[in-house]
Structure 1
């Protein structure tokens, strides 16, 4: 009887190890595929294609200089924050324009936290974010671009930008966005939704 228990335990340990290896390989592969797929999309006339030289780390821990890696992380962060807001009863895509502009500001702040210091607030990053947010929030690229370029004209959008910056920095360190800096908290504390 104890032999069966030992064999079953060994088989279970082997299966768990195999599962862990498979999950790690799939998650690494899906991030690489997402980055490659995103770099193959047409980024628009003013955004130059990113080099396919892999992950480039800068002096600041966690920041990336490669466009595919940056976009992959932004997609992950968007999915997490969108799910969090939806779970709490707020549909960002179905919200009024003002609320979606707050989300644009939050994600532009997150992009600045994730980008290499030399790429923050560049025309390339602004154009990339305008294109990405237009698709994600079902808006025109012109309106998302306007929300980013007039960020400092609105104290609420500026607060959302700061929360996105701090939330993404936390996410880089701990893979967790603290509630005070989450998209849901900053939108609901600054807008009547």
Structure 2
């Protein structure tokens, strides 16, 4: 199907993804139709299929893009002390979560909406990100600066705690991002026995 007159692929494609992300985050994947996404973008519903085969592919694309961006942007330096690496991870996670709160919300809430094959793909990407934190915790144990009763459980708990900032943080709230990072730093260090 042809694009709406005057639309441009390099503009319309990203608009579709942005609109879908916002609508899925606000209403839930199951409650959003392709027609709603098209209306938000300002194109006919059939025009969406020039950009994505279906709604499931659109969701997978959004979740994959978020995880691939996290993995591409996260930089760890294994030569640094584990506590410094942990601080860097928590700062990175908080900042990227606040910068892309809708994508983070989808990554946690809409895994249930994926087909089993797509869920495995996204879970593998998530596991790579989780493994980055787990490697830091392992280094902390090896250095003797962290005491962790269960490394995998601690990894998952820390990521959940850090991600939770997207639920309550407001730019115009009483805490700025630097203060939030500082408080979380103390909480995270306490959780790993540092």
Do both share a fold (TM > 0.5)?
A: no
Taking structure 2 as the reference length, the TM-score comes to 0.34
Taking structure 1 as the reference length, the TM-score comes to 0.34
